[in-house]
Structure formats: C-alpha cells, structure tokens
C-alpha cells in the first residue's frame, strides 16, 4: 500500500503518463486545480501509477486525497479519497496460465489490444473480475452485480462494476486491462496487467447509509461518535441527527461571451459559502431571440449541518456572491 505521495503532481504525471489525450475534457481548467502551467493537484491516484511500476512493484494499492473542481450536490466534493489497485503478470506467468503466446501482432479489437493475444487478454480480464467480485462480496455481502463495458484512455478493454443496491444499479468502480503503452513507458514492456480505481467516500456513503458527502469533513461529534473502526458497517448504520431547514436563493445573469460553466460557477459559490452550500443547480436557461445572449438562473440551496441558518445570514452571502460573480466574470445581473 502506498499512501504518502505528494498530491502536487506534474501535468505529465496526471495526464500524459496514463495516455489522456491532449484535447480530452478532463484536462480542462474548469475540472482541475492547476497550481501553474506545469503542476496541479492530482485528479486521480493514477498520477503515481507509472512511477510506482518503475520502482519495481508488480502488485500494489495506491490511496490518497484527489482534487477536482466539480458541481455542488450531496455526492460531490472538491476533495475526496481514491484507491486504485494494479497487478502485473510476467511473460513466464502468462505462458504458464495460458499455454499460448502472450503477445500478438493482430489489429486491436473490442476484446483485446493489438499487442495482446486473445488468450492473455481473456485471462487478465477474468482474473481482474474475480478479484473485484470478491471485493464486492467482502464489502456488501451477497448482492447482484453486473459488468458494463466502457471507455478509459488507460485501459482496454474497460469495464465498470455495478451492484444492485436498494433497487437501483450503482456504479462502484472502474477497471480494465492496462494499456501496454503505459507499461512500455514504465520499463515493464515484458509484462501485462490490470488496474482498477474506486472512490472511498462513495463506498462509505453506501455502506453506512450516509446521505451527504460534506459530513466526512464535519467535526460534529454527533457524526463522528457514531463510528467504531472495530465494527462492521452493518453494525453501525448512520443515524441522521436533526435536519436543519434549507434556505433557497436564486441568481440570474447574462452569461459572458466566453461562457461560464457550472463547475466554475460552483467553485465561486463554494469559495464564498464553504460547506454551507448543499447544492447548486441550473434551473433555467434562456436565449434572447433578438440578441442571442444567454441568461442562466441558478438555484443555490444553503443549509448548515449543525445549526439553523437564518435568512438574514444567507442574504449577506448572496449579496457577496452577486458582487463577486460580476467582479470575477463580468456578468450582467438580471
């Protein structure tokens, strides 16, 4: 287990080392916390994957805090914790397990990479799914689960694992067969492997029935005292304490020509109100038929987790927000 890496990484580590294309939306400044032109706070623990492999590790877990500019609601927060696992197989291991050639010169197909034989791709995928189904059983007990094919730049084939939880299919992790180019760049081109990643807060919310991700950063003893690390989740389901009433405020403005996305606006709101904001939602968008100008109306839900939040207090923050959005983005309020 590796969990002490510096969360400030290079753009090359965070994106290039795991083959994220230069034009991929995940690189945008509206999604990340850039420190300067070359460094940012890591958006995933995969930023350390290549370096950990280059140190000679064939099987490992990476865990740590990751940072993403995101919308505001009960399941999103600008910082959360992620864990990923990597397992590599040497050519000798693969030969014994498949009794066939490990590598291939055929074209890429939906079920394998161009450098992988079908037998080796099938074996790695089967081993990955077996390990992760065992993890799900350990966490959730006997539950119905399914594999959904998806796309990630750093694995192929790729899957998401979903479980049937309280009548709904819930995604719990993403995974796949590691792109061989990543291993080649990590001086491990004679190996093949798989990788997975999952969000720890999201799992804890399901396991303990916690309804608001902000609670993980709360120092309220009514929350903290409910949990004992020596007990299983089934023995200590979260019991909500007093739910204080929300205070709703709307703000409407003409969007500047260069645009203003939800993540960037949410970041401004969070910077002013912190964890007093429960949700930010775009509730109306209007395009003027004569000027083609776009007007957005956002609804902001203010709610304190530990006391009644008065309308007067919210009005002060809301007025600050109205002034700040004009100052920062040059919008015209309506």
pLDDT in tens, 62-75: 999 999 999 898 88
Percent of the chain surpassing pLDDT 70: 100
Report residue 13 as tokens: 């580590």
Per the CB < 8 A criterion, the answer to whether 69 and 263 are in contact is yes
The answer, yes or no, to whether residue 100 has pLDDT greater than 80, is: no
Per-residue pLDDT, 99: 74
Q: Taking 90 as the threshold, does the pLDDT of residue 187 lie above it? A: yes
Fold entry, domain 247-333: Alpha-Beta Plaits (3.30.70)
Query: Given this model, what pLDDT does residue 310 score?
Result: 85
Mention every residue, 6+ apart, whose C-beta is less than 8 A from residue 62. 2, 3, 5, 45, 46, 48, 49, 52, 83, 84, 85, 86
**Strand pairing category for 155-165 and 59-67:** unpaired
pLDDT of residue 68: 95
Where residue 135 falls among pLDDT bands split at 50, 70, 90?
A: very high
The yes-or-no verdict on residue 277 having pLDDT over 90 is yes
Separation of alpha carbons 210 and 217, rounded Å: 13
CB 50 within 8 A of CB 184: no
Q: What is the mean pLDDT of residues 33-54?
A: 97
pLDDT at 13 over 80: yes
* CATH no. of 8-208: 3.30.930.10
What distance in Å separates the CA atoms of residue 18 and residue 31, rounded to the nearest whole number? Answer: 17
Mean pLDDT over 176-187 rounds to 97
Given pLDDT bands bounded at 50, 70 and 90, which one contains residue 47?
very high
The pLDDT assigned to 105 comes to 76
- Residues with Cβ < 8 Å from 58, sequence gap 6 or more? 87, 88, 90, 191, 193
Mean pLDDT within 258-264: 91
Residues listed for the chain: 334
- Model pLDDT, residue 216: 92
- Count the helices and strands in the chain (H runs, E runs): 9, 12
pLDDT at 148: 97
By the 8 A CB rule, do 60 and 86 touch? yes
| pLDDT band at residue 211 using 50, 70 and 90 as cut-offs | confident
Distance CA 309, CA 245 (A): 8
Average pLDDT, the chain: 92
pLDDT recorded at residue 307 = 81
Nearest-angstrom CA–CA distance, 243 and 333? 33
C-alpha separations of 34 from 48, 69, 82, 209 in Å: 17, 10, 19, 33
Q: Show me where the domains of the chain are located.
A: 8-208, 247-333
CB 32, CB 68: distance < 8 Å: yes
Q: How many CB atoms lie within 10 A of CB 235?
A: 8
- 179-198 mean pLDDT: 96
**What value does the mean pLDDT take over residues 101-116?**
88
Q: What is the pLDDT of residue 104?
A: 80
Say yes or no: do domains 8-208 and 247-333 share a fold: no
Mean pLDDT of 251-264: 93
**pLDDT band, residue 219 (cuts 50/70/90):** confident
What 3-state class would DSSP assign to 13? helix
Q: What is the pLDDT of residue 63?
A: 97
């Amino acid at each position: 287990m590796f969990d002490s890496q510096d969360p400030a990484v290079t753009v090359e580590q965070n994106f290039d080392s795991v083959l994220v294309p230069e034009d991929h939306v995940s690189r945008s400044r509206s999604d990340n916390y850039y420190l300067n032109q070359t460094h940012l706070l890591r958006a995933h623990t995969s930023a350390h994957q290549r370096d950990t492999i280059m140190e000679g590790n064939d099987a490992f877990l990476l865990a740590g805090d990751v940072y993403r500019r995101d919308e505001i609601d009960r399941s999103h927060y600008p910082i959360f914790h992620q864990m990923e696992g990597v397992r590599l197989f040497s050519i000798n291991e693969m030969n014994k397990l498949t009794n066939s050639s490990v590598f291939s010169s055929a074209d890429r197909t939906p079920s394998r990479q161009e450098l992988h034989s079908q037998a080796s791709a099938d074996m790695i995928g089967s081993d990955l799914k077996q390990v992760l189904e065992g993890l799900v059983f350990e966490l959730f007990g006997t539950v119905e689960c399914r594999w959904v094919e998806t796309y990630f730049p750093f694995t192929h084939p790729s899957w998401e694992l979903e479980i049937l939880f309280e009548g709904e299919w819930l995604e719990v992790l993403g995974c796949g067969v590691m792109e061989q180019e990543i291993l080649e760049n990590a001086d491990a081109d004679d190996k093949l492997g798989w990788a997975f990643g999952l969000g720890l807060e999201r799992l804890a919310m399901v396991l303990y029935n916690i309804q608001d991700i902000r609670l993980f950063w709360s120092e309220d003893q009514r929350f903290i005292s409910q949990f004992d690390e020596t007990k299983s989740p089934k023995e200590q389901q979260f019991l909500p304490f007093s739910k204080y009433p929300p205070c709703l405020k709307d703000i409407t403005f003409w969007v500047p020509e260069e645009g203003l996305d939800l993540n960037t606006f949410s970041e401004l709101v969070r910077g002013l109100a912190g964890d007093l904001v429960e949700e930010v939602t775009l509730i109306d968008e209007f395009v003027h038929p004569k000027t083609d100008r776009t007007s957005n109306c956002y609804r902001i839900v203010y709610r304190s987790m530990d006391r009644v939040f008065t309308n007067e207090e919210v009005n002060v923050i809301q007025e600050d927000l109205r002034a700040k959005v004009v100052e920062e983005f040059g919008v015209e309020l309506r």
